[in-house]
A and B are shown apart, each in its own frame.
Chain A
């Protein structure tokens, strides 16, 4: 299933390439400004608002949506659901690229990115949850790289190395789940330090659990969402097994997501109860909280269940997209909208067009790399030399 013949001879001026090209040029321009003029020149960050969308969107949303890798590999290799095997490679690839994007984004956000290794090699601030996040993200990026590498090695024809790494699958999967549990939850726990700044409806002693559970939901939904898009644009790259298992995967993952969403809904309600924050639901922030809880948790839980019960793939696919959006809403709420809620409107943060530009730029780069990899490497099909293992 080599693709060389499919792109050769075609014009490169496709709509995707033109738009992506423009975004990349603008992105490079902002990148240049950021690293020569400083954060102040491109961002709306302030002393009151030290974290903007590069943290809330690129880091918090990025890591949550990249959870499909650990969720899928755990389901297949640990929980023994082998019928979902063809979902593993696309999910691992999405996860790997997602985490890689997060790390690149952090280089834009921190003041002195060349010092990012300092917490590990100079002084270890182990009392910081950010230390844990940094350590886990760094390690997990390595794990994802290794988990992804067999596809690249098959493409390159490096059989020996590929076979060694395949032998490590179970070990890497377990390590990946441990690391994901830790840093997905710790991203939420980052905010435990600021009860006076995060709105009480979002601030909870359970916030770490919320982040972890919602990351599982994000992972499951992203696998469905990504597979829907892939089928639309890369159907010619899918082999028979992939096409055959695709619908089963959507139904199975949709069912699982419905269950996890139900659990998530319950613990969120327990959280309101624990803080006795019922009266806050009547405020403006409370209504917005209800939109999140009912619109983006209860509703998709219900529709996933309907879709799985009636084997309606259309419902499952739309619900997956809606759930992904819900995760974005949740992370932006915690990181930006409900954070610093006590400040007057004049001190609140809204991203500059250049901050949004960098986020769009990074997502575009991710899509370009994703497209390159799925059109060149055995991601959605088994390599002819390794028919059984994939």
Chain B
């Protein structure tokens, strides 16, 4: 495969453009969203939770979910770690803290209602929305069921109705959005007997959380989980032991989910805009190269042809000349021969001249 200089430059241009585009991809936006003002949330205090599963029951009731496999009064389910499912929007897990006397701790799991939700950012049909009340809601009338929301959720919350053939839905806590717009408390908060759950404005909840940590520094880890995790969540957590010990990931960072993909998305219009120009250019370069190649070839051919013709002409002329000379020589020879013969004949037999014969012979030779 031979590469011409022109082709090489074409490729080099293509490679260079690719590099330039790579840089645009990394440009991040400087927009920052810190939640709707006055939006609501819930503060969960793990030091107050007794693992009674009343919140699970309350959730089940207000959301009209199917009967659980084991009754809510059966606390033996706490033996195993569970997660949210399409039949349970919230569950409580028990964590036996090792090494200190803080006893078993419980954590309630449900949707954290991110300020900038991953599920909403990845949904290609906009089935999720972050409402101004704080709740992240789901519209089952448009959901296609691609389940990208479940891939994206860093808290592993959304669950799917895999057993439904005709109307499977993504299921997750809605912060009881239909209830809070009516001025009611979320089902779990209303059912909690120990005030481990506090519903209110997120700003107020942060203040309450900080106040509790300030008042009882020995009781709490000095951190409100959800204040900044994944850009902040509407559900906030206080804990007596490090959050990773109650099953919460501490490695999620504070980058809001949409920022993770904004760079890749920003490249799209650049590729769409520049690729045709670049590819069209490469095509034009190659086309031109071909054209020039063709012209050069044609020119070379015609030149060669001309030269050949001239050569042939010269050759021909030479040959003609030679032939002429030969002819003249032959005539001379014939004439002299004839003359000689005539002289001889005249000499040999002067009485009987044979002029007729001599004439005939010379005319034959002439033609």
Contacts and interface: CB of A to CB of B under 8 A. Distances in A.
Interface string B190-209: 00000000000000000000
Nearest to B122: A128
21 contacts: A38-B165, A47-B86, A47-B150, A77-B283, A79-B282, A79-B286, A110-B146, A110-B147, A119-B124, A124-B126, A127-B120, A128-B121, A129-B122, A129-B265, A130-B148, A174-B279, A174-B280, A190-B148, A193-B260, A194-B151, A197-B151
Contacts of A111: 143-147, 160-161, 164, 168-169
A311 B134 CA distance: 66
A47 B84 contact: yes
Q: What 8 A-B pairs come out closest when comparing CB atoms?
A: A111-B145, A80-B286, A40-B162, A50-B147, A189-B264, A131-B124, A50-B150, A38-B165
B166, B264, B271: most-surrounded residue (chain A CB, <10 A): B264
B145 A205 contact: no
Contact of A205 (B1, B26, B142): B26
A255 B1 contact: yes
Contact of B275 (A43, A125, A177): A177
A36 interface: yes
Interface in B120-160: 120-127, 142-148, 150-152, 154, 156, 158-160
B125 A123 contact: yes
A118 B271 contact: no
B126 A78 contact: no
Contact of A209 (B22, B152, B258, B261): B22
Contacts of B252: 196
Interface in A118-156: 118-119, 122-125, 127-132, 134
Interface in B244-264: 249, 251-253, 257-258, 260-261, 263-264
A9 B118 CA distance: 60
A181 interface: yes
A24 B164 CA distance: 25
Contacts of A39: 160, 162-163, 168
B98 interface: no
A50 B261 contact: no
Nearest to A208: B264
A173 to B, nearest CB: 8
A181 B273 CA distance: 12
Interface in B74-102: 83-86
A48 B163 contact: no
A227 interface: no
A174 B26 CA distance: 25
A112 B168 contact: yes
Contacts of B271: 178, 181-182
A41 B161 CA distance: 11
B41 interface: no
Interface string A195-234: 1110000000100110000000000000000000000000
A176 to B, nearest CB: 10
Given A39-B168, A74-B279, A123 B142 contact: yes
A196 B251 contact: yes
A38 B163 contact: yes
Interface in A238-268: 252, 255
Interface string B109-122: 00000000010111
Contact of A177 (B10, B163, B260, B279): B279
Nearest to B170: A111
Contacts of A113: 144
A78 B283 contact: yes
A205 B11 CA distance: 25
A178 B269 CA distance: 10
A302 interface: no
B122, B126, B146, B290: most-surrounded residue (chain A CB, <10 A): B146
Interface in A268-289: none
A102 interface: no
A80 B290 contact: yes
Interface in A27-56: 35-41, 43, 45-48, 50-51
Contacts of B350: none
Nearest to B281: A78
Nearest to A44: B162
Nearest to A339: B151
Contacts of B124: 119, 124-125, 128, 130-131, 134
B365 to A, nearest CB: 61
Interface of B: 1, 7, 10-11, 22, 25-26, 83-86, 118, 120-127, 142-148, 150-152, 154, 156, 158-169, 249, 251-253, 257-258, 260-261, 263-265, 267-268, 271-272, 275-276, 279-280, 282-283, 286-287, 289-290
A159 interface: no
A186 interface: yes
A325 interface: no
B1, B161, B286: most-surrounded residue (chain A CB, <10 A): B1
Nearest to B230: A196
A20 interface: no
Given A115-B145, A130-B122, A208-B264, A47 B160 contact: yes
B276 A178 contact: yes
Contacts of B253: 195
B13 to A, nearest CB: 12
A115 B142 contact: yes
A255 B7 CA distance: 17
A130 B162 contact: no
B163 A41 contact: yes
Contact of B143 (A43, A115, A134): A115
A332 to B, nearest CB: 16
A329 interface: no
Contacts of A191: 151
A134 B123 CA distance: 12
A252 B143 CA distance: 47
A131 B267 CA distance: 14
A208 B26 CA distance: 12
Contacts of B267: 185, 208
B124 to A, nearest CB: 4
A166 interface: no
B168 A80 contact: no
Nearest to B148: A130
Contacts of B261: 127, 129, 189, 192-193
Contacts of B258: 127
Contacts of B168: 38-39, 111-112
A27 B85 CA distance: 30
B142 A174 contact: no
A165 B267 CA distance: 30
A191 B257 CA distance: 12
A194 B163 CA distance: 26
B139 to A, nearest CB: 9
A174 B273 CA distance: 12
